[in-house]
A and B are shown apart, each in its own frame.
Chain A
Amino acid sequence: MKTQSLNNLTRVLLIVCGIALIISIFVPLWSIYLEAPQYPEGLAMYLWASKITGEYEIINGLNHYIGMKTIHPEDFWEFTVLPYALGFFAALCLLAAFLNKKMWLYITAVLFMIFGVAFMVDFWLWEYDYGHNLDPNAAIVVPGMSYQPPLIGFKQLLNFGAYSYPNIGGGIMFGVALILAILAFIEFRKPKSA
């Protein structure tokens, strides 16, 4: 039986991951910054688990020149699901720590990896849609140009420099994914008879 139980350190880290994921529901997950000569102070947009904040209204105003769709928080089904998904994974981490079973750690780690990848894919698809699905009657049409912001990092879009980075919540998600992976790896490699 002993061989199926977790290290104390693993259990502590699982609790930390659980708490961190709860926090991630209440802080911004992702930041997108835009910079242009006319906007020396920059424009910022923050994606949370349940909303968008920042200057997205101004960004909407600018997007109409290139025929980009305007951003409205109510258009995202993700916002109704994400807080529960994060809450679910927080609960799963805590449960794994409480049940003290390797199997539960593996399940948590694998499910969270899948969730993380799905999150990034969904985010990318969303950016692709906004960047490519342009109004053909837009005032400014640059042949071959798309305006998909980067997933992570920097990209020049006409006169705007676009930066995209995980905020606190996104950092937590990456951190949790990394910790879970390492913990699962260590627990798996642990000698069967200690």
Chain B
Amino acid sequence: MANATVSMSEELYQIIEALEKPEVRHSLQRLLEKLPNVEQTIESAENVVDFGKSVLADAKTVDRYEQFASSYNVGSDTITAIVQLMEKLPKLVQTIHQLENIIDFVTAVLQDKQTTDYTMNNLKGYVDPYVEKGKTSLDFLKMIQQRAEEKPQQINVFSIIKWMKDPSVQKSLNYVQATLDILKEKNR
């Protein structure tokens, strides 16, 4: 018993000795000052926990939110997809950025009258020679048609002999002859 009293006195002495240190006294003072805040924080935490308990205990509310969540197709597949999507986000952002640039470029071209005029003029430069060529051929055919309709004439053997003398007919017939010669050689 006497030993126990001695030990308590020693402990008390040590506490008093510690309290005599100015830094300990200062810390204690600051701790006491903060006590109201600490109490408030603990109270808030208690409120949150109580709120959670109440919500979980309220079967009606839980059912309502369960129904709401189940109306969406959110399952483990969706969650896996979200995680995968997040993994791919850096690459997707890059791709979307490129796509955005392309869309903006095309929009800029289409809205730029000077550019569309420039392009159309240049295209015209490429197309015009072909259009001109086509026009000439069409004119040629029209003239033939007109002439044929204007001067219907009797075609006889003499007319055909006259055609045969024409250089362009001769040239075509030369091709025919050359084709026949080659076919003959190949068939030997």
Instruction: Decide whether A and B are members of one complex.
Output: no
B: residues with CB less than 8 A from A are none
Binding site for B on A (CB under 8 A): none
